[in-house]
Amino acid sequence: MHRSVLLLVCVFCYGFASGQLFQALNYPQKEFRNPLDIPISLAANFGELRVNHYHMGLDIRTAHRENLPVHAAADGYIYRIKIEPFGFGQAIYIRHTNGYVSLYAHLNAFYPALANWVKQKQYELQRWAVSLDLPPGLLSVKKGDLIAYSGNMGGSQGPHLHFEIRTYPDDSNLNPMLFGLPIADNTPPVFRSLSVYDRNRSFYEQSPSFIPVRGAAGNYVLGLPVLILKTPNPGFGISGFDTQSGSNNPNGIFQGIIYDNEEAISGFRMDQISYNDTRGINAHIDYPTRERGGPYYQLLFRMPGYNNSIYREVKPGGYLHLEDGSLHLIRIELKDAYGNISKLEFKVRYEPAEDSHAIYAGKLFYPGMLDGLEAPNAAFYLGQTCLYDSVHLNYAELSTVEKDLVSAIHNFGNSQVPLADTMTVRLKLASPVNQKDHVLMMWSDREDFEVKKPQWMGDWATASFRNFGNFALILDTLPPVIRVPGVVENANLKRSSRIAVVVTDNYKKLKSFRATLDGKWLLFTNDKAKAFIYHFDEHCKPGKHELKIFTEDEAGNSSSSVVHFTR
């Protein structure tokens, strides 16, 4: 039996093996080719767990090298180009004749015709970071055509190619491993440990139990004859990973289902996720445990506020009901995209215990409610999509004499509780400020911080943030600092290949950067925001030149610098 036919049979079997949870999957097989000329070896797969997002494609290894040829995976036309300092870095989007879209990211360079077109547009727009839509037919490609060279740009931490397949026009990401790409995989997922929660309580106001798992080669057990639980409505999570044949790289798990006495209850599947919903990972994992430095635990039940989730439930809520006090046989099945299965089986029984629930301080907030907390000098408003589960949120105003602060520090919420959407924060100035247009609102949590330019209504500033923690108003009057390392005034740069400009800011947020050469805008790249770099090209002719640099930070402070050189 051909591999493509076998894979299609396995894909269809998901719908039957999973009972009522998941519908059968039916994607075209082998219409997309390997975008590289070397065998596919994965550094990450679709749905792998990352900070605040699922991994939305395949990270294909490039043998620790850059500038490998990247090919169109199928016939179509290039319809979008994106260039940014983080994220994808340099990326190509191809719309295909089969109705799908493929994406190729972290590229070092585009193929010549595309590179020339992009550069022309950057000079027209006078921007390096761009998102450009191309008309149909302008740059058509055939399956296997050279489109770019692999690299390490943007949010990449090492040379590789990020590859995605999406739907069109709704732009939802699909698991590329369901399309018959030549990826060898006959190894089942691995269980590491089990976590247990009380679903009668707030997820964020309890201490879960963690239980080691024993086994190998697809069969796992607990080291207990019977797991005794003190709640009739438990929820379970699993710590584990998947691998590819010939690789020990820990990849993400495609599917997990929990059964009670052979009846499917609930489960998740990583087959289709939108970037609009990728932050939902924080409701799929035990977020507090991960924030404390623990491993990822993937929940086998859906949290109340996880909308557009990866979960399916046989009955609303997906509860395990153990009220009868009898033994229940629990089975958890993990599957990868090629149908390899691992099973964990154990017995549980509910034994009532005296209620010892702790009392939590603060106001109680619920998912789906529009609510807020107002204090004399601060206010916090949570929308209907902000919370994944109910939780008490406490508030405190902290006095301080720290430099640059023009308000008190206001602590709201708990950093181990994730926000699904932005909340609105309003803070009042402690006293009148002459340079209010240079005031920023700052969120901080331990060593992390973020600043935003607020909107004003009298002495009240308003901004939106996606984390709980400390909030304050700061007066920023320090301009960015510009340096041009290795270049002195009237330098001779005939043997140089580039000019690098380093800009630093006290709050690490630049609003703009602009450079001109002899009065004309000049293209500087800014990969990973480490430095602004101009590579000498036709825009710098032999002779004497004047380079002017202007930059502005989030608070509106600006700096400029002028350098003369000979080329």
- 271 and 255 share one domain: yes
CA pair distance 415, 432, nearest whole angstrom:
31
What CATH code is carried by the domain that includes residue 381? 2.60.220.30
- The percentage of the chain sitting over the pLDDT mark of 70, rounded to a whole number, equals 96
CA pair distance 289, 308, nearest whole angstrom:
24
- 279 and 173 share one domain: no
Indicate whether 302 belongs to any domain: yes
pTM for the structure as a whole: 0.93
- 455 and 554 share one domain: no
- 150 and 221 share one domain: no
- 414 and 316 share one domain: no
User: Which of the listed residues 321, 350, 379 is the one where a domain comes to its end?
Assistant: 350
**C-alpha distances in Å from residue 541, one per residue of 107, 524, 549:** 28, 17, 19
Name residue 117's amino acid: W
CA atoms within 13 A on the CB side of 190: 13
What CATH code is carried by the domain that includes residue 263? 2.70.50
Which parts of 168-317 fold into alpha helices (H)? 281-284, 287-291
**C-alpha distances in Å from residue 119, one per residue of 151, 255, 476:** 18, 43, 36
What CATH code is carried by the domain that includes residue 527? 2.60.40.10
pLDDT of residue 12: 39
| pLDDT tens-digit map of 78-128 | 999 999 999 999 999 999 999 999 999 999 999 999 999 999 999 999 999
pLDDT of residue 322: 97
Indicate whether 21 belongs to any domain: no
User: Which of the listed residues 146, 178, 210 is the one where a domain comes to its end?
Assistant: 178
- Domain range for 159 is 31-178
What CATH code is carried by the domain that includes residue 68? 2.70.70.10
- 428 and 337 share one domain: no
Indicate whether 260 belongs to any domain: yes
Indicate whether 145 belongs to any domain: yes
- 47 and 99 share one domain: yes
Is residue 37 within 8 Å of 119, Cβ to Cβ? no
CA atoms within 13 A on the CB side of 57: 20
Indicate whether 2 belongs to any domain: no
Mean pLDDT, all residues of the chain: 94
Closest CA to 563 of 503, 478, 499, 513: 499
Closest CA to 470 of 425, 506, 528: 425
Residue segments in the chain with a per-residue pLDDT below the cut of 50: 1-18
| pLDDT tens-digit map of 135-186 | 998 999 999 999 999 999 999 999 999 999 999 999 999 999 999 999 999 9
CA pair distance 220, 333, nearest whole angstrom:
10
pLDDT of residue 24: 87
- 270 and 384 share one domain: no
Indicate whether 14 belongs to any domain: no
Indicate whether 553 belongs to any domain: yes
| pLDDT tens-digit map of 370-416 | 999 999 999 999 999 999 999 999 999 998 778 899 999 999 999 99
CA pair distance 352, 484, nearest whole angstrom:
70
Is residue 14 within 8 Å of 255, Cβ to Cβ? yes
Indicate whether 81 belongs to any domain: yes
Is residue 329 within 8 Å of 261, Cβ to Cβ? yes
Domain count, the chain: 4
Q: Which two structure tokens, joined as six digits, stand for 51?
A: 């900070």
For residue 465, count other CB atoms closer than 10 A to its CB: 19
Is residue 404 within 8 Å of 433, Cβ to Cβ? no
CA pair distance 422, 424, nearest whole angstrom:
7
- 157 and 222 share one domain: no
- 418 and 374 share one domain: yes
- 534 and 487 share one domain: yes
- 464 and 518 share one domain: no
User: Which of the listed residues 318, 350, 382 is the one where a domain comes to its end?
Assistant: 350
pLDDT of residue 541: 96
For residue 330, count other CB atoms closer than 10 A to its CB: 22
